[in-house]
């Protein structure tokens, strides 16, 4: 009777195990992970059986009387519990692998050199010699070298800092904040207020700067040897400003479009408007391409020559990363900061294709390329600024 | 005496239970399959009527009545899928998590299985079967497979709403796992956590967390990623599936991905989503991104969408008061409660100049957090009502949250075999311990930690020390002096204060500060803006910005709040809050006004009639620099004139050193204090004594202003009291007034 009950119990457990065996379907479009459940279950069962065997050989018949019998009791129980343990272990490992696997492209390991920041990075500016990262603690300055070196901290104790730009020559920083637009020397001295009121974005141009306040673009430029400040209402909230040196004009990322602002008839005006799928968080450009990061809406990329042609066609990247925080060009390759999804390397051609994804940065939200082609990332996971080496080919 | 069965016997018992459950399930499956003929999808009118009546009973909360009607429907039409579904579904909702409801579980399983066989493309049955499995002891882990199966059926039937529903349920399975593994700690020592020691031994929790355990890296990351993907898939199937949007935003907020959460939530809120939890999630995300105004709007939207009872609960500040105060508040009329509510939030608002109210926003963000973490829709339980939720609302998110394996202490029965959660607040060294079932959302106070929580509540019912702004506010030295007004029932109140610029801008690298000074006044009702100024200062600057105001106020109690802020600088926040009482009845006998400490601007006019004639500037605060000469101004009322119309007063001034402020090490300060006690130092001595008489023509005045200049020479740095005694020589009456002040370097 006891024997049959044990057999029944073992059968019941085996039955419930069998219910678990069907393989979990892979998420749509996701690369598959080899299933290890059967292998781990067998290994677990073998380990359990080995333990039962050990018990059999190590114990005397006399000692076992009235206890769990090695063959009828210990063997099935240990084998089944070993199999269950193996099964759950395999499920866990498979799930972990599946979660870590990029949904598109191949996984890439990057060589990273990081410097810890006092708090989460909110904005970053890079030129040939300097990396400036904004956080709650002000602006942290680093030397733009293969091994990042902390230089100094500027604009300490200022609150609500949003965006930063470095003037040509690296002698001053322009910092957009909740209360004003500040100008601060990169070496020492206090910040001065250039504009009162909330400024959401700032960029430096060839001979001046552009700053955004709501839907107003405020531009300081040099015309005819005179410094002139103009303002232009673009009609929708501006989130980011960039200077396009190739076209000698400003690019403004707004709620639903990328706008080009240039001088026409001796006044600043909107000379181009290209709709986007979402509000533009960041703009990046090189000699051939202009790209925007649009958060949930992904990334939109335009070929420069198509913008001046009659038919504007845009490449887009939707779904991966699930949230595009920021982007930067390195050569003709586009790097997209995808938050917890990682850093995406995108090849541009007839379409935008994710070549590889690096999950080495836990929460990458900022990415910039320096003049020498080096990539710099801001990571919120462990507040840090990271020099990214991309020379390694994707595996 | 408790008898514990031997391990082998217990294992045997469990194996029998598992077998029975598995076989019962299998038999149910086989039985229904054996009976499964072609589906009968069109119910009769009578069955339809029974189902409708049953649903009406469900809506009215009569579950037993509804079950009886559904049972009648399934008895009369055993193959009616609607009857099978509604009976099986309602039975599933009534089943608890233990073994007590096994017969109902088996019955519900049979009904739903039969329905699934009759309507194999109807995903509702597969979904309910999975939900039922989730409530089945031991076989709970199998629910994941059944939910996946339900999703497959829903996809096959093309029912996107059902696809979203099943994926959401599946996502919740992983979210629960995430929440019960996220803060997991592993033992590094040999001692198990002891809740009794945590209660009785000081620093036990701190020492235990530091020495006996360590957090497991990336615990729950996989479960979180799986849950997130499932919620996203659900939203792909049905973009307006609010539970999935809530689940996804909860996960994103948990990982501080506030931009992503807000991007998900905002479109749904713009479309007028009705679920208040989603609005709360929007508010929380916006607040964490620093968009306070937006957050306030979302929170108000959330409150408006709560049911009346829940709204009253959320707006009730009783949970933020001591038990006694909450009972007292519950007993007052509605109008008084509303006035108290307004005054409470205003009083604890760190800065009234920065709208909206940061304290209230923080409270609502905590409520939002409890909803996203601890809401249990199946039990209609809101997160703020749970034990963990109550603590979170009062003290904020615990800086240290640790999930520990079960204890080995047999005396702690409630913690045996359960997951232990520890909330620890290092600043106050307060910890709370909870226990909950493994992989399940609920947790309650362990042992007598409910009493401990109440004891902590008595000492500090609500803390806002996690608001950065609150920690960066400087106090502003203030002097207030009350004088009788020119009309009966009114007072002139001098308010003099200063913004300590050196402290406010101590680390700021800025060439120019722009300070907004505001003065607000109110009684019991809401404070209103009285004055507002903007002061531009060149930096660095050591001297403070002074602010003086002469207010004419009616009798009663008044609250005055002066704030000085520079929004550009993180720490440039100053605040002074004063409550002054202005008595309604005035003494007809000799009385003195408050003593006003001031600096002389120029010589006073002869025969002063009012404060303005004194030509003085009130000191901003009650601090005097060493060796400084300062003036004391006061007014004497109801002096009796003599026969020629003159008043004669005899004035006595005394300055007493109350406490010497010493620097140096602790030992030398202690020795000096001992010397104070035995009278070896000047502490307690009168530093100045002065007496004079004055004769003045009253000349129709209702008061006699008096002005005296004082210099304390080399008086030591410390705290002093100035006592003024005025004797009316004509009436032979005396009145006294005092003011404490300090001598210290500016």
Residue B43 pLDDT class (50, 70, 90 cuts): low
Closest residue to A191, CB basis, from B152, B229, B510: B510
pLDDT tens digit sequence for B581-632:
998 877 788 999 999 999 998 888 887 888 999 999 999 999 998 888 999 9
* Geometric angle at alpha carbon A148, from A146 and A152, rounded to 5°: 145
Please tell me the predicted confidence (pLDDT) of residue A386: 94
Please tell me the predicted confidence (pLDDT) of residue B169: 93
Q: Please give the residue of chain B at the shortest CA–CA distance from A155.
A: B509
The mean per-residue pLDDT over the stretch A212-217 comes to: 96
> Is pLDDT above 50 for B442?
yes
The mean per-residue pLDDT over the stretch A234-242 comes to: 96
The strand pair at B556-565 and A149-154 is best described as unpaired
pLDDT tens digit sequence for B227-271:
999 999 999 999 999 999 999 999 999 999 999 999 999 999 999
Please tell me the predicted confidence (pLDDT) of residue B105: 84
**Cα(A148)–Cα(A121) distance, rounded to whole angstroms?**
16
Strand arrangement, sheet containing B545-554 = B478-484, B490-499, B545-554
The mean per-residue pLDDT over the stretch A49-70 comes to: 72
- Asked which of B283-292, B523-532, B616-625 is least confident by mean pLDDT, the reply is B523-532
> Is pLDDT above 80 for B448?
yes
The mean per-residue pLDDT over the stretch A352-361 comes to: 91
Q: What percent of chain A has pLDDT over 70?
A: 88
> Is pLDDT above 80 for B290?
yes
> Is pLDDT above 90 for B735?
yes
Q: What are phi and psi of A335, to 5 degrees?
A: -110, 130
Q: Do the Cβ atoms of B226 and A95 come within 8 Å?
A: yes
One DSSP character per residue, A64-93 reads HTTS--IIIIIHHHHHHHHHHHHHHHHHHH
Exposed/middle/buried for B290, CB within 10 Å: 0-12, 13-18, 19+? Answer: middle
Q: Please give the residue of chain B at the shortest CA–CA distance from A22.
A: B145
Handedness of CA A127, A129, A134, A139 (dihedral sign): negative
- A160 has a chain B CB within 8 A of its CB: yes
CA distance B509 to chain A (A): 4
Greater pLDDT, A12 or A200: A200
Residue A9 pLDDT class (50, 70, 90 cuts): low
Q: What is the mean pLDDT of chain B?
A: 87
Contacts of A10 in chain B (CB under 8 A): 15
- A64 has a chain B CB within 8 A of its CB: no
- A13 has a chain B CB within 8 A of its CB: yes
Please tell me the predicted confidence (pLDDT) of residue B192: 84
- Runs of H (alpha helix) within B238-357: 242-254, 258-270, 276-288, 292-305, 308-315, 323-330, 334-348
In sequence order, the 6+-apart residues with CB closer than 8 A to the CB of B188 are B212, B213, B214
In sequence order, the 6+-apart residues with CB closer than 8 A to the CB of B379 are none
- Asked which of A220-224, B134-138, B203-207, B308-312 is least confident by mean pLDDT, the reply is B134-138
Distances in whole angstroms, Cα of residue B569 to Cα of each of A136, B188, B577 = 11, 44, 22
CA distance B741 to chain A (A): 33
Radius of gyration of chain A (CA): 30
Please tell me the predicted confidence (pLDDT) of residue B323: 93
Residue B534 pLDDT class (50, 70, 90 cuts): very high
Please tell me the predicted confidence (pLDDT) of residue B665: 73
Task: Return the structure tokens found at A238.
Answer: 């501006």
Measured torsion, CA atoms of residues B130, B135, B136, B142, in degrees rounded to the nearest 10: 40
pLDDT tens digit sequence for A306-352:
888 777 789 999 988 999 999 999 988 999 999 999 999 999 999 99
Contacts of A383 in chain B (CB under 8 A): none
Please tell me the predicted confidence (pLDDT) of residue A106: 82
> Hey, is B35 helix, strand or coil?
helix
CA distance A237 to chain B (A): 15
> Is pLDDT above 50 for A28?
no
Residue B682 near residue B716 (C-beta atoms within 8 A): yes
Q: Please give the residue of chain B at the shortest CA–CA distance from A67.
A: B8
The mean per-residue pLDDT over the stretch A374-378 comes to: 93
Please identify among residues 326-345 of chain A the ones whose CB lies closer than 8 Å to any CB of chain B.
339-340
Please tell me the predicted confidence (pLDDT) of residue B28: 41
Beta-carbon contacts below 8 Å between A and B: 134
Please tell me the predicted confidence (pLDDT) of residue B101: 79
> Is pLDDT above 80 for B672?
no
Greater pLDDT, B410 or A17: B410
ipTM above 0.90, yes or no: no
The 10 Å Cβ neighbour count of residue A51 is 17
Please tell me the predicted confidence (pLDDT) of residue A30: 45
Q: Do the Cβ atoms of A5 and B22 come within 8 Å?
A: no
Residue A54 near residue A89 (C-beta atoms within 8 A): no
Contacts of B515 in chain A (CB under 8 A): none
Closest by CA position to A329, among listed A284, A386, A387: A284
Please tell me the predicted confidence (pLDDT) of residue B455: 94
CA distance A236 to chain B (A): 17
Mutate which: A65, A81, A141, A159, vs B, most B CBs within 10 A? A159
Please tell me the predicted confidence (pLDDT) of residue B35: 40
One DSSP character per residue, B108-177 reads HHHHHHHHHHH-TT-HHHHHHHHHHHHTSSSGGGGHHHHHHHHHHHHHHHT-HHHHHHHHHHHHHHHHHH
pLDDT tens digit sequence for A122-168:
999 999 889 999 998 899 999 998 888 899 999 988 999 999 999 99
The 10 Å Cβ neighbour count of residue B244 is 27
Residue A29 pLDDT class (50, 70, 90 cuts): very low
The mean per-residue pLDDT over the stretch B397-423 comes to: 83
Q: Do the Cβ atoms of B511 and A196 come within 8 Å?
A: no
CA distance B25 to chain A (A): 11
Reported as type and span, the H/E element at residue B662 is none
> Is pLDDT above 50 for B3?
no
Residue B512 near residue A192 (C-beta atoms within 8 A): yes
Residue A22 pLDDT class (50, 70, 90 cuts): very low
Residue B698 pLDDT class (50, 70, 90 cuts): confident
Q: Do the Cβ atoms of B508 and A192 come within 8 Å?
A: no
Please tell me the predicted confidence (pLDDT) of residue B677: 67
The mean per-residue pLDDT over the stretch B364-371 comes to: 97
Contacts of B568 in chain A (CB under 8 A): 158-160, 177-180, 193
* Geometric angle at alpha carbon B313, from B308 and B317, rounded to 5°: 135
The mean per-residue pLDDT over the stretch B142-156 comes to: 90
Closest by CA position to B276, among listed B230, B251, B242, B240: B242
> Hey, is B383 helix, strand or coil?
helix
Residue B230 near residue B168 (C-beta atoms within 8 A): yes
């Amino acid at each position: 009777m006891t024997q049959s009950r044990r057999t029944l119990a073992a059968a019941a457990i085996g039955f419930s195990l069998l219910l678990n065996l069907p393989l979990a379907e892979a998420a749509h479009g996701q690369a598959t992970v080899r299933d290890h459940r059967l292998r781990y279950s067998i290994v677990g069962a073998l380990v359990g059986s080995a333990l039962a065997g050990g018990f059999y050989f190590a114990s005397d018949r006399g000692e076992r009387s009235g206890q769990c019998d090695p063959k009828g009791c210990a063997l099935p129980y240990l084998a089944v519990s070993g199999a269950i343990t193996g099964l759950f272990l395999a499920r866990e490992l498979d799930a972990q692998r599946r979660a870590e696997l990029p949904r598109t492209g191949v996984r890439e390991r990057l060589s990273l050199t990081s410097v810890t920041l006092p708090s989460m990075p909110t904005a970053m500016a890079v030129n040939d010699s300097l990396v400036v990262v904004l956080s709650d603690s002000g602006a942290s300055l680093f030397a733009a070298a293969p091994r990042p070196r902390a230089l100094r901290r500027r604009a300490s104790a200022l609150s609500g800092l949003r965006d930063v730009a470095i003037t040509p020559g690296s002698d001053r920083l322009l910092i957009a904040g909740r209360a004003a637009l500040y100008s601060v020397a990169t070496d020492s001295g206090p910040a001065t207020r250039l504009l009162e009121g909330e400024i959401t974005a700032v960029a430096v141009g060839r001979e001046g700067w552009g700053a955004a306040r709501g839907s107003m673009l405020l531009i300081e430029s040099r015309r005819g040897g005179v410094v002139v400040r103009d303002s232009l209402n673009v009609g929708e909230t501006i989130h980011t400003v960039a200077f396009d040196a190739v076209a000698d004009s400003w690019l403004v990322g707004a709620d639903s479009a990328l706008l080009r602002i240039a001088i026409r008839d001796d006044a600043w005006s909107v000379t181009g408007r290209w709709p986007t799928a979402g509000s533009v968080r960041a703009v990046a450009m090189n000699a051939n391409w202009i790209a925007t990061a649009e958060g949930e809406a992904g990334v939109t990329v335009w070929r420069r020559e198509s913008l001046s042609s009659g038919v504007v066609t845009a490449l887009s990247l939707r779904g991966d990363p699930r949230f595009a925080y920021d982007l930067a060009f390195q050569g003709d390759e586009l790097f997209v900061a995808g938050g917890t999804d990682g850093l995406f390397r995108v090849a541009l051609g007839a379409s935008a294709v994710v070549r590889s994804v690096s999950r080495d940065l836990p929460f990458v939200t900022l990415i910039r390329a320096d003049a020498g082609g080096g990539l710099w990332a801001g990571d919120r996971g462990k507040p840090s600024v990271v020099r990214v080496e991309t020379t390694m080919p994707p595996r | 005496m408790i008898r514990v069965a031997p391990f082998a016997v217990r294992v045997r018992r469990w194996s029998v239970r598992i077998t029975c459950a598995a076989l019962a399930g299998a038999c149910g499956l086989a039985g229904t399959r054996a009976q499964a003929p072609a589906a009968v999808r069109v119910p009769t009118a009578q069955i339809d009527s029974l189902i409708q009546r049953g649903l009406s009973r469900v809506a009215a909360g009569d579950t037993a009545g509804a079950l009886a009607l559904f049972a009648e429907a399934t008895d009369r039409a055993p193959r009616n899928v609607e009857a099978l579904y509604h009976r099986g579904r309602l039975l599933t909702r009534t089943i608890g998590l233990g073994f007590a409801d096994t017969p109902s579980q088996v019955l519900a399983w049979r009904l739903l299985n039969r329905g699934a066989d009759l309507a194999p493309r109807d995903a509702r049955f597969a979904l309910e079967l999975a939900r039922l499995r989730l409530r089945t002891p031991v076989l709970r882990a199998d629910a994941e497979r059944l939910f996946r199966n339900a999703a497959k059926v829903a996809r096959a039937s093309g029912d996107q709403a059902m696809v979203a529903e099943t994926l959401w349920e599946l996502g919740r399975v992983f979210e629960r796992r995430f929440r019960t593994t996220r803060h997991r700690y592993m033992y590094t020592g040999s001692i198990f956590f002891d809740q009794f020691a945590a209660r009785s031994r000081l620093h036990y929790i701190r020492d235990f967390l530091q020495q006996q355990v360590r957090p497991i890296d990336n615990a729950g990351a996989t479960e979180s990623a799986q849950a997130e993907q499932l919620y996203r898939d659900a939203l792909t199937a049905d973009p307006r599936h609010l539970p999935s949007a809530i689940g996804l935003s909860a996960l994103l907020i948990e990982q501080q991905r506030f931009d992503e959460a807000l991007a998900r939530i905002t479109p749904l809120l713009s479309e007028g989503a009705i679920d208040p939890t989603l609005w709360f999630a929007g508010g929380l995300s916006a607040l964490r991104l620093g968009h306070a105004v937006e957050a306030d709007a979302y929170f108000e939207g959330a409150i408006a969408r709560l049911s009346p009872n829940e709204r009253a609960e959320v707006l009730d500040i009783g949970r933020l008061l001591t038990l006694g105060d909450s009972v007292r508040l519950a007993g007052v009329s509605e109008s008084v409660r509303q006035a108290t509510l307004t005054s409470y939030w205003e009083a604890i608002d760190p800065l009234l100049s920065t709208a909206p109210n940061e304290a209230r926003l923080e409270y609502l963000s905590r409520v939002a957090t409890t909803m996203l973490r601890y809401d249990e829709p199946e039990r209609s339980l809101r997160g703020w009502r749970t034990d963990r939720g109550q603590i979170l609302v009062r003290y904020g998110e615990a800086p240290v949250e640790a999930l520990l394996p079960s204890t080995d202490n047999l005396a702690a029965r409630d913690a045996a075999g359960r997951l232990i959660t520890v909330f620890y607040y290092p600043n106050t060294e307060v910890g709370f311990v909870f226990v909950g079932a493994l992989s399940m959302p609920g947790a309650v106070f362990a042992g007598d930690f409910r009493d401990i929580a109440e004891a902590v509540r008595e000492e500090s019912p609500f803390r806002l020390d996690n608001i950065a702004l609150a920690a960066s506010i400087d106090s502003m030295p203030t002097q207030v002096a009350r004088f009788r007004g020119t009309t009966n029932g009114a007072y002139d109140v001098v308010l003099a204060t200063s913004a300590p610029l050196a402290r406010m801008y101590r680390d700021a690298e800025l060439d120019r500060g722009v300070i907004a000074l505001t003065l607000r006044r109110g009684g019991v009702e809401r404070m209103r803006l009285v004055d507002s100024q903007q002061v531009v200062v060149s930096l660095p600057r050591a001297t403070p910005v002074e602010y003086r105001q002469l207010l004419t106020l009616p009798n009663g109690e008044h609250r005055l709040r002066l704030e000085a802020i520079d929004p550009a600088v993180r720490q440039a926040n100053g605040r002074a809050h004063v409550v002054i009482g202005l008595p309604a009845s005035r003494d007809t006998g000799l009385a003195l006004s408050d003593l006003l400490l001031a600096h002389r601007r120029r010589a006073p006019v002869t025969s002063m009639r009012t404060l303005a004639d004194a030509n003085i500037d009130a000191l901003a605060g009650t601090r005097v620099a060493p060796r400084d000469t300062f003036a004391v101004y006061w007014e004497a009322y109801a002096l009796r004139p003599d026969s020629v119309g003159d008043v004669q007063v005899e004035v006595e001034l005394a300055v007493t050193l109350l406490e010497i402020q010493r620097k140096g090490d602790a030992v030398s300060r202690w020795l000096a204090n001992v010397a104070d006690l035995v009278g070896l130092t000047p502490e307690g001595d009168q530093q100045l004594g002065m007496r004079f008489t004055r004769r003045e023509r009253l000349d129709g005045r209702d008061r006699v202003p008096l002005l005296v200049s004082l210099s304390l020479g080399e008086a030591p740095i410390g705290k002093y009291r100035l006592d003024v005694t005025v004797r009316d020589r004509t009436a032979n009456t005396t009145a006294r007034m005092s003011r404490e002040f300090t001598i210290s370097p500016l």
